[in-house]
Structure 1
């Protein structure tokens, strides 16, 4: 698929009933849901101050965490998965998205917003992500994002739209990843290589992102490929995408 920036993977033309995401419970979500709800996430996060030049912390590895990433991406913001709990010195940090019961464990810079998912928050000033996704406009204005816009950071390095797409294309080519192949994310999203190989690559190939229950040690096979470090002795899937082989510019 031709894509100059990651938002090109979430356009209206790509909405259909093909499965695009499977969560830890086995629930399936199609590309129509994925694209439309990503737009809703972007519209909602705009109210929480997300825009170009700011960083959004995302805690968790389920569908809502991915939607927060996609919404931030559509707003030209930078996502940092699993940020540290003390963010007071991070001047560009604008919004934290986490499960409601985890929000209080983070120290944020002045003016930063808290967005909680799961249970409805009791604390004043905390935005409820779930409710926002239901109520927001299911459309998004046309975008023109510079490929050099930063999309991800792990606190030490940054990755642009162009860089993450380049890495994802290499994964698709090297593994012969095809439409409907299931890619199981068995590495932390806090590593930008995991996002490139486990999220962006399947979107490029029109495959399926599979989010396993990382606390479940049953080892049941859930996909065609597993994204994992070679230091992990084995994975249940028949093929491994080795993180150490994923190169980010």
Structure 2
């Protein structure tokens, strides 16, 4: 079980939110210990689960340590399910602190990732070679060789990872290219300014995590700003076309390098 809390209401705008971290060199800087506050960092509308910044930062450290124990090293690629639930987001932040590359994906074909993280309902879809591992969340695995994400993350030590990550290191892969930490945090800081994201703002994802604009604007930018990442409740809140995020209820366009979205 992960350290989330049940909540039916929107994040509290009067909560204790961290100051913006717009000069970050790497994504790990956004999850620094001094940013652990009581304000809401992540909320999943479907389940009502919320993570304060204290829980979010601590759980990202734990997720990274689980990945490290499973053999993830700098430069390794992990595959994470493109689902609007907390586990993929927390795994992404944990992998970033190891210098690993995250690919949000829905398929199981191609080069095997060092670690795949997926819902337990998809356990049987994976057939990874020796030295590669599967972790599942939602329910315990049926195969004892498969890692149970919640159980391992819950029991893991929240120590800072002994890995030096640079801004030029790769962070995540999508749409045929790999984005570095520097590219992502720079673009996310621009989104914060352009979209007017403030500490305590609610930023709702309106697209899949396979879209780099959604990751940068909806998963990275809010945490840099000290705002709240809000994961939508099912397909009803996901726009097939249009702005990739909504800030405090208002859809927002973002500029991603030479690509304007939408």
Query: What TM-score, normalized to structure 2?
Result: 0.82
- Between the aligned partners of 1:96 and 1:180, the Cα distance in structure 2 is 32
From the superposition, tell whether residues 205 and 7 of structure 1 become closer, same or farther in structure 2 (CA, over 3 Å).
same
Instruction: Tell which has more relative contact order, 1 or 2 (C-alpha 8 A, sep 6+).
Output: 2
Distance in 1 of aligned mates of 2:62 and 2:189: 27
2:40 to 3, 19, 22: 19
Report the 3-state secondary structure (helix = DSSP H, G, I; strand = E; otherwise coil) of the residue aligned with 1:16: coil
Q: Alpha carbons of 1:109 and 1:241: their partners in 2 closer, same or farther (altered >3 Å)?
A: farther
Within 5 Å, give how 1:56-95 maps onto structure 2.
Answer: 56-59=78-81, 60-87=83-110, 90=111, 93-95=113-115
Superposition pairs of residues 166-205 of structure 1, within 5 angstroms: 166-205=186-225
RMSD: 2.5
Give the TM-score of the pair, scaled to structure 1: 0.86
The counterpart of 1:162, out of the listed 182, 185, 197, is: 182
Unaligned runs of at least 5 residues, structure 1: 220-225
Aligned match of 2:146? 126
Extract unaligned runs of 5+ from structure 2.
1-20
Aligned length: 236
> Alpha carbons of 1:18 and 1:248: their partners in 2 closer, same or farther (altered >3 Å)?
farther
Q: Does residue 15 of structure 2 align to residue 3 of structure 1?
A: no
CA offset digits 1:81-104 (Å, max 9, x no partner): 0152213xx16x211000122022
Q: Is contact 1:51–1:72 with CA below 8 Å preserved after alignment?
A: no
Contact 2:120 2:136 in 1 (8 A): yes
Distance 2:216 2:179 in 1: 10
